[in-house]
Amino acid sequence: GAGVSQSPRYKVAKRGQDVALRCDPISGHVSLFWYQQALGQGPEFLTYFQNEAQLDKSGLPSDRFFAERPEGSVSTLKIQRTQQEDSAVYLCASSLAVEADTYEQYFGPGTRLTVT
């Protein structure tokens, strides 16, 4: 029984490098969310997909952040020209639906990004 998987689990990048973080959601899940979690904080919403459509990217902190889900399954979060403030855990979650009463998200283990 596969849950949500993310890769890599850990990534160290030098400032200015580009990184790509991958999320494999649960098969059949329509909705996919990306979050950024700083140390000692709760997850902060970044962006949301319904199938391949990116319906909301209001949480992306800058235009260096880009996310895609071209076939409605796997998603990639790309960060260009990384900065130290990008250091955080990036969480992916998928959900079967978006209606509030069935709104259960299944989270991956996260990718811990450290920018040096």
Contact set with another protein (CB under 8 A): 3-4, 31, 33, 40-45, 48, 56, 58-59, 91, 93, 98, 100-101, 103-110
Least CB distance to another protein at residue 93 (A): 8
> How many whole angstroms separate alpha carbon 67 and alpha carbon 21?
9
Q: What is residue 52's DSSP assignment?
A: T
Nearer to another protein, 12 or 97 (CB): 97
Least CB distance to another protein at residue 26 (A): 12
Residue 104, amino acid = E
Q: Which residues contact 88 (CB under 8 A, 6 or more apart)?
A: 36, 37, 38, 39, 112, 113
Q: For CA atoms 92, 97, 98, 103, give the dihedral sign.
A: negative
Least CB distance to another protein at residue 101 (A): 5
Nearer to another protein, 65 or 82 (CB): 65
Nearer to another protein, 82 or 93 (CB): 93
Least CB distance to another protein at residue 52 (A): 17
- For residues 90 and 111, the answer to whether their CB atoms sit within 8 Å is yes
Nearer to another protein, 84 or 102 (CB): 102
